Structure 1
Amino acid sequence: KLPLSGGGAVAAYIGELRGDVEALRNSNAEGFGRAADKVSAALDDLRAATDHLLAALGDGRTGEALAGATPYLRLFSLAAGGAYLIRGALAGEDKARVALARFFAENLIDETAALRNRVIEGADSLDAAAAALAL
């Protein structure tokens, strides 16, 4: 699905998620802590990983792209989850949703930086491990 429209579909989706972060930044909502900055950084990680996978696929490095698929999906889910929690919290007056969005952003979402690195740099070590462990 990633290469659909030359990556345009996923780029548009990431842009939609960035809109949720901007909505938070433009609001007077309280209690979100550093959620906007954290989710924005996660979306940057998602964009970088997406660009890498698209380049790998475009250059015919399918094995490299496949090696990054699992961490990419986890990265995607964390970044999207953070944006959706912000969206849900902004939609209502529920302090519990605000607290959950903040907790997610400040305690869980930083994993996206490591996942981005696994997508971009992990293929060689995966191939080496597979070769070393082959029976």
Structure 2
Amino acid sequence: MTVDPARSAQMALVRGKDTKPEIVVRRIAHALGYRFRLHRKDLPGKPDLVFPRLRKAILVHGCFWHQHPDPACWRSRIPKSRPEFWVPKLEGNVRRDQENERALREMGWDVLVVWECETTPSRRAELRERISAFLA
């Protein structure tokens, strides 16, 4: 298989942390008066936002990479090209997410998953309410 330089350049732009949806969630939590730690390496899955005193963690998932199960979310569709590559990769991501969430809960942490599509401007008020209720 040949490597497409344009595709490699595009994939190199995909960020693992400090993504736009993550920044939106950080700003909401901060505006609500909560302080948090980022990407704690000693916790399963390195949660995006960690509230140690509350023993709560927020995971911000990209709809495509983490396969948002909501059928209304168009971002989570599997690419038509090379499904033999994408299906196992994305299923592996979902499996890893489930294992990390389970491990966090077993350690006594409450976990909230926020999906990328929930951080759009039209849904931010609803997201703010979810985060506020989770952290209260």
Q: TM-score, normalised by structure 2?
A: 0.28
Q: Which has the larger radius of gyration?
A: 1
Q: Comparing both structures, which one devotes a greater share of its residues to strand?
A: 2
Q: TM-score, normalised by structure 1?
A: 0.29
Question: Taking CA–CA contacts closer than 8 Å with sequence separation of 6 or more, which of the two structures ends up with the larger relative contact order?
Answer: 1
Q: Comparing both structures, which one devotes a greater share of its residues to helix?
A: 1
